[in-house]
Amino acid sequence: MLTHVQKIVITISVILSFCSVKAQLKEFALTDEWIQKIEKLAPVKSEVQPKKPHRVLVFSLFTGFDHWVVPHTDAVMKVLAEKTGAFEVEFSKDIFQFEKKNLKKYDAVVLNNNCSVGPRRDLLLDVLDQDKSLTDEQRKKKAAELEANLIKYVKKGGGLMVVHGAIVMQNNSMAFSEMVGGSFDYHPVQQEITLELCEPNHPLVKAFEGKPFVHTDEPYLFNKAYTQKNFRPLLYMDTSKLIKKTKEIDEKIKYVSWIKGFGKGRVFYVSPSHNAQSFEDAGLLKFYLDGAQYVLGDLKCDDSPAKL
User: What is the set of domains in the chain, with CATH numbers?
Assistant: 4-295 (3.40.50.880)
| Residues 218, 274 contacting (CB under 8 angstroms) | yes
Pick from 97, 301, 85, 65: nearest CA to 171: 65
Q: Give 245's pLDDT tier (boundaries 50, 70, 90).
A: confident
CA distance linking residue 123 with residue 147, whole number of Å: 10
Amino acid at 176: F
Mean pLDDT score, 139-163: 98
127/117 Cα distance (integer angstroms) = 10
Helix residue spans in the chain (DSSP H): 4-21, 32-41, 70-84, 100-103, 123-128, 136-155, 174-180, 282-295
pLDDT digits over 246-300, tens only?
887 877 789 999 999 999 999 999 999 899 999 999 999 999 999 999 999 999 9
Residue 4: is its pLDDT beyond 70?
Answer: no
DSSP letter string, 198-267 = SSTTSGGGGGGTTS-EEEEE---EEEGGGGGT-SEEEEE--GGG-SS-SS---TTTTEEEEEEEETTEEE
Predicted confidence (pLDDT) per residue in 65-81, tens digit: 999 999 999 999 999 99
Alpha-carbon gap, residue 281 to 88, rounded angstroms: 22
What's the pLDDT score for residue 308? 81
Residue 197 per-residue DSSP state = E
- pLDDT band, residue 185 (cuts 50/70/90): very high
- Tell if the pTM clears 0.85, that is, is over it: yes
User: What's the rounded Cα separation, in Å, for the pair 168 and 288?
Assistant: 19
Nearest of 18, 69, 94 to residue 284 by alpha carbon: 69
